[in-house]
Structure 1
Amino acid sequence: MIQYSRPLPAGITPCDPNHHPQWVETRGAPRSHPVARPCPPHHHIECHRCGIATVPSPSRAITEARWHDPSAHIPIHDLARVREQIAAAVANAA
């Protein structure tokens, strides 16, 4: 799995003026993912100072909407587990 991160685009409001959340794109499958099953890239936004992230999504638009919806935030330490659940759902649907 490879992750690319970059600062949030100027049009997306950060969680706090002194925080620097990152837009993260994850490519590749989690270790538990079945071989040769699809696993599209996923995006999430995370702030390490707040300790929050959005639920990963293959859609950039959904990721941005989740950033503005606190009910769609998860603790950063839960990202790996949530990515595995999403990848399993994608593999089962294929």
Structure 2
Amino acid sequence: MPKYVIERTIPKIGEVSAGDLQAISQKSCSVLRGMGPDMQWVHSYVTGDKIYCVYNAASEQQVREHARLGGFPIDSVARVVTTIDPITAEV
């Protein structure tokens, strides 16, 4: 299944409480359950004013529909072509 990176601007998200982050996570999971098994939230990175989410999904349209249904902002969606890491550098 394709992997996507989603960028979301949420001012001061890095300052919210653990309880608020839990509520956002619960909302995302609830929407995903309603969408069926063809989409999976892998994890998200929370920074000062943005969240970068990694999802496995059948299509970009599915990612955007999840955002719409959940009321989540979505600045950009990029399909991951490949992954590199320090092992990639080894000969």
On whether the aligned pair clears a TM of 0.5, the verdict is no
Larger Rg: 2
TM-score, normalising length: structure 1 = 0.24
Larger relative strand fraction: 2
